[in-house]
Amino acid sequence: MRLVRRLPVYPLFGDGATRLQPVYVGDVAEAVSRLIDHSNAPLIFEFGGPRVLSYEELVREIARSPGRRPMLVPMPFAVWNAVAALAEFIPATPVKRNQVDLMRVDNVAATDLPGLKEVGVKPRDIQQIIGMIKRTDD
């Protein structure tokens, strides 16, 4: 959120089309705590928020909250890889190669595995999460 607030131009990973399903960490923690007491629960769960967004849509949602409209610029993954390789020599690197690799593929919960709903957790929408972050960031 800080970067979107400060930068007039914001670089996207690739063309910004990677699909993401952001989920609030508190919702995941609640689900895990409910599963601890259920030894007969399935072994694999996939937790995701209620909406699937492209990376570009996610950045626009985040920018909309503080009323910003940064210019979003697609940046090829080859450039990101070069930036990440150089950034490894910086103590507090802004981006790592494994982060670039993760943004190459969609990251959404599988529909054929149990998720938050099956453990009785209603996932918070991205707007609720942004509102919580905004209040702690102000």
Tell me the pLDDT tens digit for each residue of 77-113: 999 999 999 998 888 888 899 999 999 999 999 999 9
Report angle CA 102, 105, 109 to the nearest 5 degrees: 95
Report the C-alpha gap between 114 and 26 in whole angstroms: 18
pLDDT in tens, 54-70: 999 999 988 887 677 88
Over residues 20-41, the pLDDT tens digits come to 999 999 999 999 998 887 777 7
In this structure, what are the phi and psi dihedrals at residue 10, rounded to the nearest 5 degrees? Answer: -120, 125
| DSSP assignment string, 82-98 | HHHHHHTTSTT-S--HH
The answer, yes or no, to whether residue 131 has pLDDT greater than 80, is yes
What are the start-end ranges of the E strands in 16-136? 19-20, 53-54, 71-75
The reported pTM is: 0.85
Q: Which domains, and CATH codes, for the chain?
A: 2-76+107-137 (3.40.50.720)
In the predicted structure, residue 115 carries a pLDDT above the cut 60: yes
The DSSP 8-state label assigned to residue 118 in this structure reads G
